[in-house]
Structure 1
């Protein structure tokens, strides 16, 4: 199983950070056919062979993704796309 961990600092208010996280979730859901739901300040997402979280703190957004065996080969591509989207959305502040 491959693990991906991405930390993106931000200067957003809690509401704007949550709105930004929602945008990340929507884009990843569309590209990778993921289902997602909020549990407090943690956004959980999954599909067959992939599960992860996007945790919001005061100045950071932390994404953790666990990839099953079949998706492990795509870890570099998935990490690149997820990092790019997080930097674009959270770093834009």
Structure 2
């Protein structure tokens, strides 16, 4: 399994950070048929071959993604897309 972990400071209120996370999850659901659910401040997501969590706190967002072996070659492109999303939605 291949793991991706990205930490990013954000300058958002807790409600705005959650809204940004919801926006990301909705786009991923539509584009990749990804299922997600909140458990407190942790957004869990899953689809065949991929699972992970996005954790929010007052100052930081942490994304942890686990890729199954067959998706490991896509790790660099997935990381680029995540950084792009964070640049657009979770600026410090």
TM-score, normalised via structure 2 length: 0.93
Contact 1:24 1:86 (C-alpha < 8 Å) held by counterparts: no
For residues 1-93 of structure 1, the aligned pairs below 5 Å read 1-91=1-91
Q: Tell me the distance in 2 between the aligned counterparts of 1:28 and 1:82.
A: 11
Q: Secondary structure at the match of 2:26?
A: helix
Aligned residues between the structures: 92
Contact 1:28 1:82 (C-alpha < 8 Å) held by counterparts: no
Q: Tell me the distance in 1 between the aligned counterparts of 2:42 and 2:53.
A: 6
Deviates more, 1:66-75 or 1:24-33: 24-33
Q: Deviations over 1:10-56 (max 9, x none)?
A: 11111111111111111222232211110000000000110000000
Q: Give the unaligned 5+ runs of structure 1.
A: none
Q: Tell me the distance in 1 between the aligned counterparts of 2:30 and 2:76.
A: 19
Q: Tell me the distance in 1 between the aligned counterparts of 2:79 and 2:31.
A: 13
